[in-house]
Structure 1
Amino acid sequence: MDATSAAADGSGEGARHGGGERGKDGRPEKEEATKKVPLLGMFRYADHVDVLLMVVGTVGAMFNGVAEPFISVLFGNVINSFGESTTATVLDSVTKVVLDFIYLGIVTAVASFLQVSCWTMAGERQSARIRSFYLKSVLRQDIAFFDTEMTTGEAVSRMSSDTVIIQDALGEKAGKLVQLTSGFFGAFIIAFTRGWLLTLVMLASLPLIVVAGAASAQMLTRVSSKRLTSYSDAANTVEQTIGSIRTVVSFNGEKKAIAMYNNFIKKAYKTVIEEGLINGLGMGSVLCILFSSYGLAFWYGGKLITDKGYTGGMITTVLFSVLIGATSLGNATPSISAIAEGQTAAYRLFETIERKPEIDSDDTSGMVLENIKGDVELKDVYFQYPARPGQLILDGLSLQVASGTTVAIVGESGSGKSTVISLVERFYDPQAGEVLIDGINIKNLSLDWIRGKIGLVSQEPLLFMTSIKDNIMYGKEHATTEEIKRAAELANAANFIDKLPNGYDTMVGQRGTLLSGGQKQRIAIARAILKDPKILLLDEATSALDMESERIVQEALNRIMVERTTLVVAHRLSTVRNVDCITVVHQGKIVEQG
């Protein structure tokens, strides 16, 4: 097992939950994402303001797109003006065309402003909304989702990179595509109006241009999906490595992490090379066909001047119109590619946003009791972790914990002790049996409410990279300074906090690395005390501490276990010395109790 995988497993959760088929990087193997949402489906989170911005931006883009081929009409008029018989007539005709250029410039300026500003604002507004919805959806997912479907690094990568891709597709690139599409159709309408015979001849090359452009766009969509996947895997590796840098360094895992990261970057590099070759081949093919058609157009244009009475201005207008139309089609390729990437990225984000978890923290339909005694019961519970459906963890386990009593759960590693804690916290639901609080199935209780009545102290406490005060206050929103200090005193943490240079405002570092194990554990206990839970869950809360730290932490635990329903998962005798009942679990069953 490499260092990054060990770091990701943390305190053993990865070992308990992380079964199933996994790739070399330790992540669950899953099929490469190649699906995408429909074009209009990308705009599903637009509100009425966004729709208005997009409508105005579309109108501006259409005017901006049509203005470019309209220049060919003015060029044709200039050519015809040069053929006038007298100097005065030439100057008069050219002056009128010059004024037309000025008017066209004013219209284009206004249209360009509306196009760029409106589409950019619409794209930014929608991407910001998608970011918010995505984070909210990720946080509402059940724990099984993170065991089987998504890692932390992957979630962060999608939040940072995929939303940027979507923003580009919903904003500037969408407006650019409308502009180029309008320019394409406007150009050929003008060309047919001015000289349909020459336009038909030049159109012979259009199917070849369309086929070349469509083929390259299709291949680019496939390749870009591979590139996004590789970058997401690379970001996940970085997140695991940097987030667990101490473990990585202690196991000399730097080279392994770098090799893993470079492997994903090489995959991305290969797809970028492939993408560049496809892009270059597509653009080269389009330009080759385009320039060949110009030669044909000049030859046939000369015949039309002598045989059909065409003028030089008509030939110039048709040639420039077809040129602008074909160029618009070619220039649309990057926009089409960006929108295709956006559709692929949107599929990944929208799939998570619209996923409804089985254990939904946003569901407010559950019961809320006026008063909770704290009776806990597991009745004939069978459970398998979603990541390891073939391995039975709890095999018909039944356990009763009366209100206000303390029950210790002991047993060998892997017997299912911590799983009991996870079920009471409702991180998971059992496949069979019931978990009851005060005789009511926990599934029927409001999840947010019941978790507010339960406090959890784990073996490896996780602190946020902020101050001690903020970490303790995480247990109760809007807690007063007096409440925070009282909780710290009960947790035997006040003495060491007062000795720190900044006291309660001292920063704890990433994951609390600036504090010792005993100090971190006492901060976690203070956080649980501030929550004032009716049910307290202690998952090997002292097993990672030295004897002196264990003594101090155990004193704090003994204080807060009074008049609370407490479940203690422990290995050490000192932890279970003062409990009311000891339960021995073996292979998912209770084999002894007393």
Structure 2
Amino acid sequence: MSSSPSTEQQTPENLDVNAPVNKRLSILMELVQFVRPYKGRLIAAMIALIFTAVVMLSVGQGVRMLIDQGFAQQSMAELKSAVLFILFVTVLLAIGTFTRFYLVSWLGERVSADIRRAVFSHVITLHPSYFETNGSGDIMSRITTDTTLLQSIIGSSFSMALRSALMCVGAMVMLFATNIKLTLVVLASVPFILVPILFYGRKVRKLSRKSQDSMADVGSYAGEAIEHIKTVQSYTREQQEKQAFSDEVEKAFDIGRRRVMQRAILIAGVIIIVFGAITGMLWVGGSDVISGKMSGGDLGAFVFYAILVASSLATISEVIGELQRAAGATERLIEILNVDNHILPPETTVVDASLLQPVITFNEVSFNYPSRPDQSAISALTLTVEQGKVLALVGPSGAGKTTIFELLQRFYDPQKGSVRLDGIDIRSLDPKALRDKMALVPQQPALFSSDVMHNIRYGRPEATDEEVIDAAKKAHAHGFIENLPEGYKSFLGERGVRLSGGQRQRIAIARAILKDPDILLLDEATSALDSESEHHVQQALEQLMHNRTTIIIAHRLSTIQHADNIAVMDNGAVVDSGDHESLMQSCELYQRLVHLQFRGGLE
């Protein structure tokens, strides 16, 4: 088992990890569209943030009063006033912090939920070719892990960055107002702080993107192994899978370790430079106090503001690392949101698909899958299915049978020719309206992690319980459903693992019956079943096919016996067509398939 392709390879070429910091972080502006609907709360949060910054800065004046008027004058009244002022400021600070924290955290939760919903809503409508080159594990990592990271950034780190920036600017103003000479000492250290932030910030962002991609690979590998757990255990490959997964985890850990190392170096360097500057400032300021050039209160206030500047810069340097990770996560999410859907409804729908008769025509259709552009899946195919008739598609693996279903449902558009419904090119129809006329019963039915009722009702969500039960009866599924622990409310497990193959197939048929389609597509619906299950499923299919235009991909003679016409396919083209007897006389390929695949049925 191999892990999915690294998402590193899927990074668009225009995303340059070595671009300037402001350009790289500008990707975060893409989040504005999700924040804009809540601008009222954002403004309130900003007001609370500015309020708390101003209140915090006023604490420095309380410190000056405490030293100059309380300690220096030995006055209890002045000391009491200074202490009460600091206490009052503390209460205001608590109120402002509560308001800011709640509003910003709410905004983070709300925006991340909206992004998650927007990405999923977009992904669920994308053309199937997108999923041929993008693993489900990577997509899920973007929807869950990356949006959770953005939630933390918007709800915490971004607020911290703004607060620290305001505190830094405000504290710098107060430093100049308190003592210009000491302020110049502090400012001399600023270039030494910016250099490591810019240099290591670039490394942090590059490693952040790699870290998120590697975690997506870990999730993809784990999901694949768990999905195929029976195969893994059947071949006793548990130890090898453990080792392979461990290798993936270690790769992710190594990238994460390097990212953390760069951030740690950045933070440590800033701390050394900042507090080194404060130490120098204390030497100069202490000398001025001793010589009487400034008061102890001014020095105390100056130290308080200098510490605010230092802590703000340290916070900003740390948050920049978080913002770099947020930029990486935003890139990955915006990549998905910017993927164009190749299958779109016409700009002006002039034909109502529901009014069309279920007559299907493939007219000189040629098609190559996007992931295999040099390999023809369908070549100059011409085929007609009359209303209410049953067409069986027969041919070796890779002949193009399943591709016909995918083109008919317009999961892909042909490069040449046209697929027509009642003479109308299906590209001129709304894909949803087109698919509403069809129901697919695949070889491996897709059941959801829910109860029986939900899985059958998936065919027509507005159906009543009575209609669901009636569909189950027609699908010969009602009997075994009633014997389940909770009947129609029984939970089926992931992919319906609690049911047998025949039972899952009959649930899928019941779903198709409930949908009541004009066109029925059966993809080898009985090929993997035992004789008894096939008998029940075949009875259900007879009920389902009655008076419907039906196309069957057939691997068993029992399904061909119902066909009005049989099309023999090879290399993406129809090589012959007719009934069983005529094809046995005229088509060598059909004769060979009958002898190889249908021998048991013939006997």
Aligned partner of residue 558 in structure 1, secondary structure: helix
- Give 1:122 deviation, angstroms: 1.2
Which residue does 2:68 correspond to in 1?
A: 80
Distance (Å, rounded) in 1 between the aligned partners of 2:28 and 2:498? 49
Cα deviations across residues 140-166 of structure 1 (Å, max 9, x unaligned)?
A: 111111112x22222222222111111
Matched-pair contact (CA < 8 Å) for 2:28–2:330? no
Listed as ranges, the matches of 1:515-526 within 5 Å are: 515-526=499-510
Listed as ranges, the matches of 1:493-512 within 5 Å are: 493-512=477-496
Which residue does 2:375 correspond to in 1?
A: 391
The answer to whether the aligner puts 1:30 opposite 2:15 as a matched pair is: no
Which residue does 1:39 correspond to in 2?
A: 28
Matched-pair contact (CA < 8 Å) for 1:374–1:402? yes
Which residue does 1:21 correspond to in 2?
A: none
Matched-pair contact (CA < 8 Å) for 1:542–1:550? yes
Cα deviations across residues 32-59 of structure 1 (Å, max 9, x unaligned)?
A: 57666533322211244x2111111112
- Give 1:590 deviation, angstroms: 1.1
Which residue does 2:20 correspond to in 1?
A: none
Matched-pair contact (CA < 8 Å) for 2:7–2:138? no
Listed as ranges, the matches of 1:126-165 within 5 Å are: 126-148=111-133, 150-165=134-149
**AA partner of residue 478 (structure 1):** E
Aligned partner of residue 46 in structure 1, secondary structure: helix
Which residue does 2:97 correspond to in 1?
A: 112
Cα deviations across residues 452-508 of structure 1 (Å, max 9, x unaligned)?
A: 110101111121122222211111112123322222222222233333343323332
Which residue does 1:17 correspond to in 2?
A: none
Distance (Å, rounded) in 2 between the aligned partners of 1:361 and 1:334? 47
Q: Which has the higher contact order (CA 8 A, sep 6+)?
A: 1
Listed as ranges, the matches of 1:298-313 within 5 Å are: 298-305=282-289, 309-313=293-297
Which residue does 1:337 correspond to in 2?
A: 321
The answer to whether the aligner puts 1:473 opposite 2:457 as a matched pair is: yes
Distance (Å, rounded) in 1 between the aligned partners of 2:160 and 2:8? 38
Distance (Å, rounded) in 2 between the aligned partners of 1:133 and 1:364? 25
Aligned partner of residue 394 in structure 1, secondary structure: strand
Distance (Å, rounded) in 2 between the aligned partners of 1:446 and 1:355? 20
- Give 1:307 deviation, angstroms: 6.9
Matched-pair contact (CA < 8 Å) for 2:141–2:219? yes
The answer to whether the aligner puts 1:417 opposite 2:401 as a matched pair is: yes
The answer to whether the aligner puts 1:195 opposite 2:179 as a matched pair is: yes
- Give 1:131 deviation, angstroms: 1.6
Q: Residue 303 and residue 512 in structure 1: after superposition, are their counterparts in 2 closer, same or farther (change >3 A)? A: closer
Aligned partner of residue 477 in structure 1, secondary structure: coil
Cα deviations across residues 362-417 of structure 1 (Å, max 9, x unaligned)?
A: 98957324523200011111111111112111111111111111111111101111
Matched-pair contact (CA < 8 Å) for 1:42–1:343? no
Where structure 2 has 5 or more consecutive residues not aligned to the other structure, the ranges are: 17-23, 579-603
Q: Which moved more, 1:328-337 or 1:25-34?
A: 25-34
Which residue does 2:49 correspond to in 1?
A: 61
**AA partner of residue 91 (structure 2):** I
Q: Residue 430 and residue 288 in structure 1: after superposition, are their counterparts in 2 closer, same or farther (change >3 A)? A: same
Q: Residue 353 and residue 28 in structure 1: after superposition, are their counterparts in 2 closer, same or farther (change >3 A)? A: closer
Cα deviations across residues 328-378 of structure 1 (Å, max 9, x unaligned)?
A: 110223322223222221222233234330114798957324523200011
The answer to whether the aligner puts 1:94 opposite 2:79 as a matched pair is: yes
- Give 1:25 deviation, angstroms: 3.8
Which residue does 1:9 correspond to in 2?
A: none
The answer to whether the aligner puts 1:538 opposite 2:522 as a matched pair is: yes
The answer to whether the aligner puts 1:121 opposite 2:121 as a matched pair is: no
User: Which of residues 542, 557, 560 is equivalent to 1:576?
Assistant: 560
Distance (Å, rounded) in 2 between the aligned partners of 1:94 and 1:456? 83
Q: Supply the RMSD in Å over aligned alpha carbons.
A: 2.3
Aligned partner of residue 434 in structure 1, secondary structure: strand
Aligned partner of residue 543 in structure 1, secondary structure: coil
- Give 1:291 deviation, angstroms: 2.9
Q: Residue 103 and residue 500 in structure 1: after superposition, are their counterparts in 2 closer, same or farther (change >3 A)? A: closer
Q: Which moved more, 1:117-126 or 1:90-99?
A: 90-99
Where structure 1 has 5 or more consecutive residues not aligned to the other structure, the ranges are: 6-23
Which residue does 1:260 correspond to in 2?
A: 244
Cα deviations across residues 201-229 of structure 1 (Å, max 9, x unaligned)?
A: 22111211222233333322221111111
Number of residue-to-residue matches in the alignment: 568
Cα deviations across residues 230-260 of structure 1 (Å, max 9, x unaligned)?
A: 1111111222222232233223343343233
**AA partner of residue 318 (structure 1):** F
Which residue does 1:462 correspond to in 2?
A: 446
Cα deviations across residues 299-320 of structure 1 (Å, max 9, x unaligned)?
A: 3224544778222222332233
Distance (Å, rounded) in 2 between the aligned partners of 1:355 and 1:482? 42
Distance (Å, rounded) in 2 between the aligned partners of 1:309 and 1:542? 97
Which residue does 1:274 correspond to in 2?
A: 258
User: Which of residues 270, 289, 301 is equivalent to 1:317?
Assistant: 301
**AA partner of residue 127 (structure 1):** S
Which residue does 2:156 correspond to in 1?
A: 172
